[in-house]
Amino acid sequence: MTPADKQWIIDYVKQQVAVILGGNTAATQVDDVPGTESIDNLFPGCPTVEGRPLAHPYGLVSRAPKGTAQVTARQGEHPSNRLVLLHRDKNRPSVADGDVWLYDAHGNQVKLIEGKIVMKSNAIELGEGATKGVARVQDPVTLNPVTLTGVLTTVPPVPGPIAAGSTVALQLSNPTLNAGAIAQGSSKVTAVD
């Protein structure tokens, strides 16, 4: 084998080896550039690789906490020219077959489980800027001042005028009530009008 053949083999092996490596999140959104992340511990003796592109599925954006394990891929020939492909969170929740969870480091969760969507959070806003508490069954209701209209009769009918201080049962035909409002909705789930 000629020296040129040996060098070709060495160069070919360099291209194939260490395409995928692990690392740790050092910093996110480097220099305020969205979608960038620095890589620590790429390989022994490697300095922090600053501001590398971060791949996300379309429509989903996240920032991993510092120290989260990364999977990176090499771009081009230089060993530290990397792209962060994904993160491996050792604290991620365990889910059942077929379930999907979105979660964050603050305890918030959106679970797609068993044909329903379950949200867990200290506060849930249904719409940006939501301020009105969502009404629930058996929330108290405050009625506006009531105006009753209709034909008022006594039951049973009382002949003649009703004496002052008398107690009688009254019946109102076709009553109409003014509207009321929920006095208190949820303190944790709010919605916009």
Q: Are residues 77 and 105 in the same domain?
A: no
Q: Are residues 38 and 74 in the same domain?
A: yes
Q: Are residues 103 and 73 in the same domain?
A: no
Q: Are residues 114 and 137 in the same domain?
A: no
| Residue 147 Cα distances to 88, 141, 144, angstroms | 64, 17, 9
Tell me: the pLDDT tens digits for 91-150? 888 899 999 999 999 999 999 999 999 999 998 888 888 888 888 877 877 766 666 666
Q: Are residues 150 and 187 in the same domain?
A: yes
Q: Are residues 105 and 127 in the same domain?
A: no
| Residue 32 Cα distances to 35, 36, 51, 83, angstroms | 9, 9, 10, 18
Q: Are residues 110 and 135 in the same domain?
A: no
DSSP-based three-state secondary structure for 29: coil
Confidence band for 171, pLDDT divided at 50, 70 and 90: low
The residue among 88, 114, 133 that closes a domain is 88
Confirm if 40 and 93 have CB atoms less than 8 A apart: no
Whichever domain contains 36, its CATH number is 2.40.50
The residue among 122, 144, 179 that closes a domain is 122
Q: Could you tell me the end-to-end alpha-carbon distance of the chain, in angstroms, rounded to an integer? A: 79
What is the rounded distance in angstroms from the CA atom of residue 68 to the CA atom of residue 100? Answer: 21
Confirm if 83 and 72 have CB atoms less than 8 A apart: yes
Q: Are residues 193 and 131 in the same domain?
A: yes
Q: Are residues 79 and 104 in the same domain?
A: no
DSSP state of 146: P
DSSP-based three-state secondary structure for 24: strand
* Non-local CB neighbours of 110 within 8 Å, separated by 6+ positions: 101, 102, 103, 117, 118, 119, 120
Tell me: the pLDDT tens digits for 6-29? 788 777 766 655 577 778 888 877
176 versus 74: which is more confidently predicted?
74
Q: Are residues 100 and 82 in the same domain?
A: no
The residue among 122, 143, 177 that closes a domain is 122
Tell me: the pLDDT tens digits for 25-73? 888 777 777 788 888 887 777 788 888 888 888 888 888 888 898 888 8
Predicted TM-score (pTM) of the model is 0.59
Q: Are residues 15 and 84 in the same domain?
A: yes
The domain tally of the chain equals 3
Q: Are residues 173 and 115 in the same domain?
A: no
Which structural domain, as residue segments, surrounds residue 102? 92-122
76 versus 88: which is more confidently predicted?
88
Confidence band for 151, pLDDT divided at 50, 70 and 90: low
